[in-house]
Structure 1
């Protein structure tokens, strides 16, 4: 299981650096599918991993190249701080089935929106 967790972290790290994603899109589904965790445990574990400065080196590289809006990052971080608490409270009220289905709907909506709005340059 240790190797599974390391590989999940590696995949999330690469995709985070590449696309700015990780927790909800990579780590949570991977923990559901490969580690057999319940949704609340997978989400809590993902948040626990993200408490460390996992994006620091990636963010530094983007910053060095002039690709970080620092003010926006700080405001988003403030929203994440309070939003994660609200989302965690809400998740505790859902059954595992409801949580999985809600997450699936979220992923489909995001994927559909990206597909529809993609325009070649």
Structure 2
């Protein structure tokens, strides 16, 4: 692994971490596109790597800050987490079976739709 790759990975991690703590995004929305653009990862590689980063409790300190201020609903988070595990399993099975071009298009459309909804919602 070259120094340039290590520095790129560090930059992606810092950007994803800052945005995760700041606005609650980081994984798919930040890391996946950056891994593709900066390091030439395939869509599958970028998604898999992004998910692997989240296996460890990388957001634990950010969560603690939100917890201290009373901004976490643990019951809701637990339900979402359990369903996230189930959905992640099936979603990954589907993604692995898709062609990279189709997967990239699906990813882009989801980002556009969600971003547009947030941008134009009251």
So what's the TM-score if we normalise by structure 2?
A: 0.94
The C-alpha deviation readout for 1:63-109, integer Å capped at 9, x for no partner, is 00101101111111111111111111010111111011111110110
How many aligned positions are there? 118
Please tell me whether residue 35 in structure 1 is matched to residue 28 in structure 2: no
- Consecutive unaligned residues in structure 2, runs of 5 or more: none
Provide the alpha-carbon RMSD of the alignment.
0.7
User: For 2:101 and 2:76, how far apart are their aligned partners in 1?
Assistant: 35
Residue of structure 2 equivalent to 1:86: 90
Q: TM-score, normalised by structure 1?
A: 0.95
Instruction: Provide the residue aligned with 2:24 in structure 1.
Output: 20
Structure 1 runs, 4 residues or longer, greater than 3 Å off: none
Cross-structure match for 2:15: 11
1:75 aligns with 2:56: no
